[in-house]
Amino acid sequence: MTVAQPDLYDAFAEEAATYGVELTRVDVSTGAVRETLAEVIEQPAVGAPLPWEDVSLPASVTTEPTPAELTEATTGVTAASFAVAEYGSVILAATPDGSEPASLFPDLHVFVLDAADIVPDMRATFERLGDQFRADRSSAILATGPSATADMGALVQGAHGPERVHGVVIDR
């Protein structure tokens, strides 16, 4: 399945929904991104700074958390580098400001995705990652839905990682 650019969001949203991932779409120009995030977040919250100049985290989100704050947080807010429409997946970069632990320890992971950063399929995903890894030798997680296990006799969402995932998708 290869999806045309204008339909990428819809395809992504549909696939993400199959994993129980809800999306909230918000236009940056309305200035409502922080407000939207504040609504989605359950306190206490930790996170890593967002990489866009015109979007920032609500003050209630603790960045640069301590280990204690990490384990006590209910929500972790981090940016997604990009998303894969065909699979409903997001790419979460492991950055020096602690995005990886913030997206991993809390029960609820809220990712923030720029709607322009959705690629159609895995081929496009690995082309992009190949260029990126060769250039900067970085690390990332391809995350699809919440963490899960079937090792305890039935499928359970929420194993070592988050049990819920919510996406805030921004438009410009």
Partner 1 sequence: MSSDSHEAQAAQIRELLRTEGAAVAENTRGFNQSRYDAVDGLDDYDALRQEARQIKEDAIERLPALIDELRETVEANGGEVYLADDAADANAYVAEVCADADADRLVKSKSMTSEEIEVNEHLDEQGVDVVETDLGEWVLQLADEAPSHIVAPAIHKSREGIAELFAERFDPDEPPETAEELTSFARQKLLEEIAGADVGMTGANFLTADTGTMALVTSEGNARKTVTVPDTHVAVAGVEKIVPTVEDLQPFVELIGRSGTGQDLTSYLSLLTPPMDSPTVDFDEPETPITEGEDDRSFHLVLIDNGRLSMREDDHLRETLYCIRCSACSNSCGNFQSVGGHAFGGETYSGGIAGGWEAGIEGLDTAAEFVDLCTGCSRCVDACPVEIDIPWINTVVRSRIQQGSEPEGIDTLVDGLTPDAETGGFDRQKRLFGNFETLATLGSAFAPVSNWLSNAGPVRAVLERVAGIDRRRDLPEFRRVTLVDWADRPGDPALAEATTTALAEATSDDSETPAGTSDDRSEATSDESGTHRRAVLYPDLYTNYWLQERGRAAVRVLEALGTDVVVPELPGTGRPPLSQGMIDTATEKARTLAGQLTPYIDAGYDVVVIEPSDLAMFREDYDHLLPAATADRLAADSYELLEYVFGLLENGADADPLASVDGETVAYHSHCQQRTMGLEAHSRAVLERCGYDVTTTEAECCGMAGSFGYKEQFYELSIDVGERVESELTAVEADHVVASGTSCVDQIEDLLPEQPRHPVELIDPEM
Q: Which residues of the chain form contacts with partner 1 (CB under 8 A)?
A: 1, 64-68, 70-71, 87, 89, 94-101, 104-105, 122-123, 125-127, 129-130, 133-134, 137-156, 158-162
126, amino acid identity: F
Residue with Cβ nearer partner 1 (5 or 149): 149
CA-based torsion, 112, 44, 15, 34: positive or negative: negative
Type and span of the H or E element at 10: helix 8-18
Residue with Cβ nearer partner 1 (146 or 167): 146
Residue with Cβ nearer partner 1 (54 or 64): 64
The three-class DSSP label of residue 24 is strand
Residue with Cβ nearer partner 1 (10 or 127): 127
Least distance to partner 1, CB of residue 114, Å: 20
Least distance to partner 1, CB of residue 41, Å: 20
Per the omega criterion (within 30 degrees of 0), is the bond before 44 cis?
yes
Find all residues with CB under 8 Å of 128, minimum gap 6, and list them.
Answer: 82, 119
The whole-angstrom separation of Cα 46 and Cα 57 is: 10
Least distance to partner 1, CB of residue 129, Å: 6
Least distance to partner 1, CB of residue 167, Å: 15
Type and span of the H or E element at 23: strand 22-27
Residue with Cβ nearer partner 1 (104 or 170): 104
Least distance to partner 1, CB of residue 50, Å: 16
